[in-house]
Amino acid sequence: MNNYTYIGVALGIILAIAIITNAWSLLFLAVILGAVGGVIGAHFDGRINLGEIWNNVVGKGRG
């Protein structure tokens, strides 16, 4: 069984480190990219449904 959440977090952090390379002031970028990777991975794992979340935020599906 593939676990896309952990893969997404790892790839996001690796990408952030590649972008930042020795810029400590941009450390928060690594955390943000890791979180985005985790959310996308969780979507592909089926743990969350980004389409449903988006529709709730935008207001579609109500009424």
Predicted confidence (pLDDT) per residue in 9-61, tens digit: 888 887 787 777 776 556 677 778 888 888 988 898 899 999 998 898 888 76
Q: In the prediction, which pLDDT does 1 show?
A: 47
Q: What is the pLDDT, as a whole number, of residue 59?
A: 82
Q: Is residue 40 part of a domain?
A: yes
Q: Is residue 19 assigned to a domain?
A: yes
pTM for this prediction: 0.58
> What is the residue type of 15?
L
First to last CA, the chain: 39
Q: What is the pLDDT of residue 14?
A: 78
Cβ–Cβ contacts within 10 Å for residue 13, how many?
A: 17
Looking at residue 27, its pLDDT comes to: 66
Residue 63 covered by a domain: no
Work out how many domains the chain is built from and give that number: 1
Q: 14: domain range?
A: 4-58
- Distance set, CA 33 to CA 6, 8, 9, 29, 55 (Å): 13, 9, 8, 6, 23
SS3 for 21?
Answer: coil
Residue indicated by tokens 């890791």: 34
